[in-house]
Amino acid sequence: MMDEMLRIYPSVGDLQDACAEQVAQALKPTTESQTMTIALSGGSTPRHMHELLAQRPHVDWSRVHVFWGDERTVPPDHEESNFRMAKESLLDRASIPEDQIHRMAGEKDPVVAAEEYEKKIQAVFNVRPPEMPRFDVVILGMGADGHTASLFPDTKALLELKRYAVANHVPQQNTVRLTLTFPVLNAAQLVIFMVAGADKAGAVERCLQGTEDVPPAGQVQPTDGQRRWLLDAEAAARLISDD
């Protein structure tokens, strides 16, 4: 059964700092031999959060496997690459073994890249469908349309129930994206939504206040884990006004 938490912060900076601390705490192993897993988000808001996270002294990065929730179909050095953003803001600043960094190959044929990513997940987590991998932490953002990862409204990937990762045609963006699927996100131990900006307020309201038209982000509901919504004041504006 899903556990939920909502926190509202006065500024984007406060939000980024709080998220960095919560992620750092969640990446603490509970046993001497345990390795941890995290799926990172793209977008602009996580960049400084990554920088702050890299400064947290109590994260043992040698025991962390890093994945991504989604990726654009671009090479890893492209300015729009989620991997590149994370590399500059986190990976280059933290001592993470190279073989524990698992990027989505956005430069390849999307269908092939999604299949390869699924095999990577199977190998690291030692699982096979229909069993789902259980990430320790998944960081997600949300667009003004309510999409999260690359699960956009009215796209085929929303209906995927078995695959870990798929190539998702996104007509509203005139592109194809690589994305983890709802079953994987909902199997996570902790999902943190990190959302900032007034343009997100309507989608936040639809996700959290039980409207009939729930966007994709609102459909991320861990079955045996916790969902946390970390919002800046602008993104939470409609929630506050209804109190």
Q: Are 63 and 29 in contact (CB under 8 A)?
A: yes
Looking at the chain, the number of H-run helices and the number of E-run strands are 7, 9
Predicted pLDDT of residue 243: 44
Amino acid symbol at 148: T
Instruction: Report the Cα 61 to chain-centroid distance in Å.
Output: 18
Residues 6 or more apart whose Cβ sits within 8 Å of residue 230: 7, 9, 15, 18, 19, 22, 192, 193, 194, 195
* C-beta neighbour count of 69 within 10 angstroms: 27
Average pLDDT, the chain: 96
- What is the per-residue pLDDT for 241? 56
**What is the CATH classification number for the domain harbouring 129?**
3.40.50.1360
Question: In which band, very low, low, confident or very high, does the pLDDT at 213 lie, cut at 50, 70 and 90?
Answer: confident
pTM of the model as a whole:
0.96
* 50: nearest Cα among 182, 141, 136, 145: 141
* C-alpha to C-alpha distance for 26 and 5, rounded to whole angstroms: 14
The total domain count for the chain is 1
**What tokens appear for 13 in the block?**
């900076």
Mean pLDDT for 196-207 is 97
CA–CA distances in Å: residue 195 to residues 17, 107, 125, 162, 199: 13, 28, 28, 28, 10
Is it the case that residue 1 has pLDDT exceeding 90? no
- The answer on pLDDT for 49 being more than 60 is yes
What is the C-alpha separation between 178 and 174, in angstroms, rounded?
A: 14
- Kindly list the distances between the CA atom of residue 115 and the CA atoms of 12, 28, 30, 104, 112, in Å, as whole numbers in the listed order: 36, 30, 32, 10, 5
- Give CA torsion, residues 133, 134, 139, 143, to 10 deg: 50
Q: Which domain holds residue 181?
A: 3-241
Please state the rounded mean pLDDT for residues 89-118. 97
Alpha-carbon distance of 208 to 210, in angstroms, equals 6
CA 192, CA 6: separation in Å to the nearest integer?
A: 10
